[in-house]
Structure 1
C-alpha cells in the first residue's frame, strides 16, 4: 500500500520574494530561508513519488462566485506566478489525484475536484522553496480560509485523517509527502465580513474577489498596494505555543478552536492554520520538529517551518533551534 513518509509545514508570504530589499530583520529572514532549505532536504531524503500540497488560494483560482471548502486538483494545475513564485503548468499525477479524490469520498470527505486548477503563492511558495529540484509531481489540495463560512478546524482534522486513510488504501508502495503552506499568525487588510465591506479599500477587495475570474491581474496592482501598506500584526506568543504543541504531538486540541477565536489569537491570517491541521492529522499528530520560527513584520507574518516524520523517535528534551 502507499504511505505518507513525511509531513512538512511552512509559512508563506506574498512579500517574501518581492520585498527582500525592505527587510530590516535580516538575520531572521536568512534563518527562515535556511529553515526552508532544511525542510527541502528532508523532503529530498524522503524520496517522494508524489507531494500533496495543502494550501490556501488568495482569489487567483477561486472567487466569490464559487468557493468550495476543500478542492483537489485532479488534472491540469497552473501556477499564477504572483509574488515572484513559479508561473505556468506544473507537473502533476492525474491518476493518483483522481484515485485520491475517490478515496477521500469513500472515507467520508466529499472534496470538490478541478480538472484545470489555478493555484497561487498559497501553494506555489512551497513548490518554489521546498520542491526545487525534487522530481515529484504535485497534487494541490486547496482549503478555503478567506471567505466565510470557513470549514471548521475539526472538519480539517477529519480531512487529514481521511487523507491518510485514502492513501493507505491505494495499491502499490508509493511514497507520499504532505506539505502544508500557510500561517502562522498575521493580520491581512481583508474585510472581516465580505458581505459588508467598510471603506473604499474593502469595497475594492470585495469587487476583486467577486469579479476577478479570468482577469485578476487588473486588480492586482492596487491590491498589492493595500497589502504593502498594512500594519504588521504578529502574535508571537501564539505562534511559539502552536509550535511547542506541534513538537509534542498536541495539535489535536486546536480542533476545538472556532474562527472567531483564531481571529482573536492569531489574526485573520491565522485561519491558514487549517492547512497545518490537515497535514498534522494526516501524520496522526505524531510529534514533530520545528526547524525555524522568525517573526517577520516586513512580511506581515510569523514565519515558520517544521517537519513531522512518522518514523522518527522523539528525542528527550528536544527543543527548537531558536528564534533569531
Structure 2
C-alpha cells in the first residue's frame, strides 16, 4: 500500500506569488512526485486522513474520527483560496467495511454520508492531480475540539485501517494520503510563524521509524507550538498505516516566507 503525506496550507493557492520562485518550484515538484507515485500505483481508492476547519465538526458534536461513507463528497466553497469546489466520488462499500472493521477492533468512529471537504482535503487532491473519477474515503481526525484523540490512538487507527483494507475481498487498489500540519497557528496571533525545530524533529522521527517518539508529544506542547500543529495526528495515522516501512523525504522547506509555513512531504513506497 502506497502512503503519502503533505501539508495543505491554503496560502500556496491563494497567494502563490508571495513565496520565492525556488520554494514554489520545490513545492510543485513535490506534489508532482507524489501525484505520479499515486498514478503509477494504479490506485482505485484513496483513504485520506485529514483535518477540517469547522465545516463538519462543531463544538456541539466532535467525535474523534469520522469516516465518509457517502456515494459522493461535496466540496465546501472556498473561493478566497482560489479552489474550485470539486466534489469527489466516494467508495461506500469499502468505507462501510472500514467502519465495521474498526468497530470489530475496538474503535468507535462516527460515519457520515454527507461529509463536505474543505481545503484540508480539496487542496492536496487538486495539487496532486488526483483524477476526478478516483474514489476518496475521507477519515477526519478531530484536531480542533479538546479532548483530542491521543497520538498513539491515531497511529493505531492507521494500522487498523491498513489491516482492514488488506483483508478486504473487494479487490480495491488502495492508497493512503495524510494532509495537514506541520507546526502552525490558525485564527490566532502568530499565524505568520511556525516552529522549524519541531517540524524537523517530528519528520526525523517518522523517517527513522521511531513512531513511539512521534507519538510522545504532549498536547500542551503542541498547543504552545501552535493550535494547527495538532494536525500531525493525520501524519501519525499514515505512518501507522505504513506499518514498519520508512518514508522518503520528498520536500523539506523549513520556512517559506510569504507562505508563512514550512513545506513538508513524505512518501512511503508501496510494499
Q: Does 1:12 align with 2:8?
A: yes
Q: Does 1:246 align with 2:172?
A: no
Distance 1:256 1:288 in 2: 19
Q: Structure 1 stretches (4+) deviating beyond 6 angstroms?
A: none
* More deviation, 110-119/251-260: 251-260
1:231–1:67: structure 2 CA closer, same or farther, 3 Å change rule? closer
Scaled by the length of structure 1, the TM-score of the pair is: 0.78
2:29 aligned residue:
34
Q: Quote how far apart the aligned CAs of 1:88 are.
A: 4.3
Partner of 1:233, secondary structure, is coil
Scaled by the length of structure 2, the TM-score of the pair is: 0.92
Distance 2:135 2:191 in 1: 37
Partner of 1:150, secondary structure, is coil
2:226 aligned residue:
267
Partner of 1:116, secondary structure, is coil
Distance 2:150 2:264 in 1: 23
1:262–1:285: structure 2 CA closer, same or farther, 3 Å change rule? farther
Contact 1:107–1:166 (Cα < 8 Å) also in 2: no
Distance 1:285 1:22 in 2: 38
Q: Quote how far apart the aligned CAs of 1:107 are.
A: 1.7
2:17 aligned residue:
21
Partner of 1:183, secondary structure, is coil
Q: Does 1:64 align with 2:59?
A: yes
Unaligned stretches of 5+ residues in structure 2: none
Contact 1:49–1:136 (Cα < 8 Å) also in 2: yes
Contact 1:233–1:267 (Cα < 8 Å) also in 2: no
2:187 aligned residue:
189
Contact 2:88–2:133 (Cα < 8 Å) also in 1: no
Unaligned stretches of 5+ residues in structure 1: 191-228, 312-324
Distance 1:85 1:252 in 2: 36
Which deviations, in whole Å up to 9, do the C-alpha atoms of 1:193-251 show, x marking residues without a partner? xxxxxxxxxxxxxxxxxxxxxxxxxxxxxxxxxxxx85421211221222222222223
1:296 aligned residue:
256
Q: Does 1:233 align with 2:229?
A: no
Partner of 1:139, secondary structure, is strand
Flag the structure with larger Rg: 1
Distance 2:232 2:268 in 1: 16
Partner of 2:204, secondary structure, is helix
Partner of 2:10, secondary structure, is coil
Partner of 1:87, secondary structure, is coil
Partner of 1:141, secondary structure, is strand
1:277–1:231: structure 2 CA closer, same or farther, 3 Å change rule? closer
Q: Quote how far apart the aligned CAs of 1:41 are.
A: 0.7
Contact 1:78–1:88 (Cα < 8 Å) also in 2: yes
Q: Quote how far apart the aligned CAs of 1:263 are.
A: 2.7
Distance 1:231 1:160 in 2: 29
Distance 2:247 2:116 in 1: 31
Q: Quote how far apart the aligned CAs of 1:172 are.
A: 4.0
